[in-house]
Amino acid sequence: MEEKYMRRAIELARNGIGRVNPNPLVGAVIVKDGEIIAEGYHAEYGGLHAERNAFKNLTGGADGADIYVTLSSFFLVILLLFVYKESDLEFLTFRTKKFRDMK
């Protein structure tokens, strides 16, 4: 796992401070071939989840990409696979890491 992408996701999550309570702060980064191709975060209470915002900001295909999420509902991620362009997400992998595991 590339720690720099998780750190970027954490940085993005902080954009929701003061606006997402009682929900948690969450950031997401989609990476393909070592490049960030989309980012998202939970911006406001009742708004789209970080993963959904990242997919919304995706401009190209995600085939072979990784998504780094600071906190994720696995059910939501699987649902996104079916709702979003399935062909683009066929080989998408998911990477999650808890804040406390970061050094």
pLDDT of residue 100: 42
Contact between residue 68 and residue 29 where contact means Cβ atoms under 8 Å apart: yes
Edge-first strand order for the sheet with 35-41 is 35-41, 27-32, 66-69, 93-96
> How much of the chain is helix, strand and coil, in % rounded to 5?
35, 20, 45
**Structural domains of the chain, ranges and CATH numbers in brackets:** 3-98 (3.40.140.10)
pLDDT digits (tens, 9 = 90+) for 83-100: 555 444 444 555 544 444
pLDDT digits (tens, 9 = 90+) for 11-50: 999 999 999 999 889 999 999 999 999 999 999 999 998 9
Encoded tokens for 75: 């059910």
Which residue has better confidence, 97 or 2? 2
Q: Which residues are catalytic?
A: 51
pLDDT digits (tens, 9 = 90+) for 65-77: 888 888 866 556 6
What is the Cα–Cα distance from 46 to 29, expressed in whole angstroms? 21
